[in-house]
Amino acid sequence: MDDKLYELFQKTLIENSNVNIQKIVQGQARVIQQNTQPLGQKNESISIKDVQKKLEAIEKNLMIQDSARKRRTSRYHSKKCSIKINTQNGSDSPSPYQLDFEDAKEYEVDILRKENQRLQERLEQLKSQNGDENSEDLNRERETLQKMKKDYQIKDDELKILNNKLDLLEIDLNKKHSLLLQKSKKLEVQQQTLQKNEEQIKEKRDCIDALQQQINLNISQVISLNKNELKLKLPQKLGVQLDKDKQLNKSIYVQDN
């Protein structure tokens, strides 16, 4: 914005040949040039309010000069100064006749006031352009924001569905884990019971084996004793049986006679 104002002042300086006007415009141009920074070095956009303040300061300065001029009595106030209107370039230019100081001052003030008005119009135009650009940018940003919001809502809905599925899976896994723990405990109890039963069966088998060995030993001893007794008692039994047979035969014989 400052660069454009500086260009306008330079253009005014070129179009007007009056020395006093050139001095005033050059002074204002130097002020603007001193306050101007290259666009590449600015981190923020040019503030329209700053330009407005500069223009208001210029206008205030012109009003002060105009008021001071009216308070002074000009030696040449009765003189009329002819000003030739240049219609070719559309701007007011002084006539070749020599202007008195007060009339030249008034002419300078008028020129600067018109220049200030032109700058005001340019400022309003730039404001309007800036507003239109900002409006377009705002609409684009709003559309982008709406699209991002819509995409976010879609992603959020998908995430909610996924979270619900994950919750259901987690519940199912917890149930399965609980059942697995119960089965594991039951299996552990069964294994402990089976181990106890196996130990009891082993103990019983050991007892049976011990009893079987004892029985076998007893049988062997009985058989051995029976053999010895038979060897000793068999002849006696045979003699007693022979005596009994003889007596029986005798008694049968006596009865028959």
Residue with the bigger pLDDT between 186 and 56: it is 186
Residue with the bigger pLDDT between 140 and 55: it is 140
Whole-Å CA distances, 40 to 36, 168, 228: 12, 58, 136
Residue 251 belongs to a domain = no
- Report whether 107 contacts 99 (CB < 8 A): yes
Q: What does the angle CA 63 – CA 64 – CA 69 come to, to the nearest 5 degrees?
A: 95
Q: Can you tell me the distance from the alpha carbon of 14 to that of 6, in angstroms, rounded to the nearest whole number?
A: 12
pTM: 0.30
pLDDT score at 112? 78
Residue 189 belongs to a domain = no
Residue 134 belongs to a domain = yes
Residue 153 belongs to a domain = no
Residue 217 belongs to a domain = no
The number of domains in the chain is 1
The pLDDT confidence band at residue 215, using thresholds 50, 70 and 90, is confident
Residue 225 belongs to a domain = no
Count CB atoms within 10 A of the CB of residue 8: 17
pLDDT score at 85? 37
Q: Which domain holds residue 20?
A: 2-38+45-72+81-145
Residue 101 belongs to a domain = yes
The pLDDT confidence band at residue 144, using thresholds 50, 70 and 90, is confident
> What rounded mean pLDDT belongs to the chain?
69
* Residue 114 predicted with pLDDT over 50: yes
- Report whether 83 contacts 94 (CB < 8 A): yes
* Residue 131 predicted with pLDDT over 70: no
